[in-house]
Amino acid sequence: MYASFGIYGFFDLFQISRIFLLLPDLNPASDCRISYLHAGVYIDSMREKDCMFRLKRTLPQVTVITLASMLLFCQQAGAEQGEPRSTQLGHEAEAIGDGAVAIGWGANARGKDSIAIGSKVQIIGPATTFASEGGIAIGAGSQSHRAGDVNFGSRTLSGLRDGIGDDEAVTMRQMKAARAYTDTVKNDLIKMVDQAGSPVLAQAKAYSDLSRNQAIAAANAYSDAVKNETIIQGKKHVEQIIAAGRAQHDTKLLSQAKSYSERQNQATLENANAYSEKVGREVLSSANAFTEFRSRQAQDNAVTLSRQYTDRRVGQLESQIKKFRRRANAGISGAMAMTTLTPPPANANASFGMAMATYRNQVALASGVTFRTGKNSNLRLNTSWDSAGGIGAAAGFNVAW
């Protein structure tokens, strides 16, 4: 396996920059291993040529190894067949799993399709940017621990326009407007219920009073009829007794008739009063129950409408987050395509190249132009376009001595 770590040397014969590193476990018996170097360190050309000869590597093979480097000073290892495909960029950055991406000092992406972008927030301690399988962590110290989660590390996502479509995010301004609208609707409904309840209660009371008066009148009429009938029957009974023995039983029969009439009248009046009170209570209870039912129904309808509106707006916010994720994936594919552009061939004064890359269903196309501005210097201009509509540009200048 070959790996590039931003190490630069010069072949005197060809006078172009090369990246050439053999991992320590490639040939333990060889003394040609080169330690980690920073850019600009001169490597003895005879030692490099000796390594190429003893390891049976040709110049085209070394050139292919050199062109595999993505960017200046970036760390990238070429994976063998069966190893996870991942990308890591930065000191102590670690990406484990297919499609994992870790960018930044100490960034840690563990699991398939995990993305961690950001540096540590402190030198000592576990405060690092971390993303588990399927998660996305953006910003220093952000941590995503479940699939489908996008974590910004308690940062605020600002600068958003008010959502219009079903798949657009809802702003706090729209949430406040929705809350104010809900409060207004609720207050209007309560006012309508109060206004509608007063006439209903008045009608119920009037109906109750009318029913009670009618019941009392009917009871009085019934009592009078019973009283008159009782008096008539009593008179008949008295007359019969008087006819049978007027002299002996006059006083006794008259007393019995009066007592009987009074008892009948008292029982009739008590029955009439009890009937009137029962009818009045039933009418008043029915009116109160009807009024309370209509008021509760109006309040429940207002709360249901408000809840449906809030749920719809939250769903729009989730759709906007998915749209931002698509743009981020497209930007990553653009960066990958731009870094795949190869340097010009040896002794070429100018060159043009194109490259294409894809990442998580997003495609990007990049092109670049390189000009040799001097014997040991060149200028490079790169552009990219991605499937999300993003356009990127980059420029670089390289001098060797």
Q: Give residue-wise pLDDT tens across range 122-145.
A: 655 566 888 888 899 988 888 888
Strand partners, 22: 2
Domains of the chain: which residue ranges?
Answer: 3-151
Instruction: Classify the C-alpha dihedral 212-217-220-225 as positive or negative.
Output: negative
Is residue 227 very low, low, confident or very high in pLDDT (cuts 50, 70, 90)? confident
DSSP string spanning 185-224?
HHHHHHHHHHHHHHHHHHHHHHHHHHHHHHHHHHHHHHHH
pLDDT reading at 365 higher than 90: yes
Spell out where 195-329 has E strands. Answer: none
CB count within 10 Å of CB 54 equals 12
Instruction: Report, as an integer, the average pLDDT of 352-369.
Output: 90
Contact 88, 70 (CB under 8 A): no
Q: How far apart are CA 289 and CA 208, in angstroms?
A: 14
Which pLDDT score, from 0 to 100, does residue 71 have? 38
Which pLDDT score, from 0 to 100, does residue 61 have? 54
Burial 32-42 (b: 16+ CB within 10 A, else e): eebeeeeeeee
Which pLDDT score, from 0 to 100, does residue 115 have? 93
Reported as a single tens digit per residue, the pLDDT across 32-77 is 433 333 333 333 444 445 555 555 555 455 444 544 443 333 444 4
CB count within 10 Å of CB 101 equals 25
Is residue 182 very low, low, confident or very high in pLDDT (cuts 50, 70, 90)? very high
Instruction: Report, as an integer, the average pLDDT of 236-252.
Output: 69
Reported as a single tens digit per residue, the pLDDT across 320-330 is 888 888 888 88
One-letter amino acid for residue 295 of the chain = S
Identify the top-confidence range among 60-74, 162-176, 249-263, 351-365. Answer: 351-365
Question: Residues of the chain with pLDDT > 90: what percent?
Answer: 8
One-letter amino acid for residue 374 of the chain = G
Radius of gyration (Cα) for the chain, nearest Å? 49
Element (H, E) at 362: strand 362-372
Strand partners, 396: 380
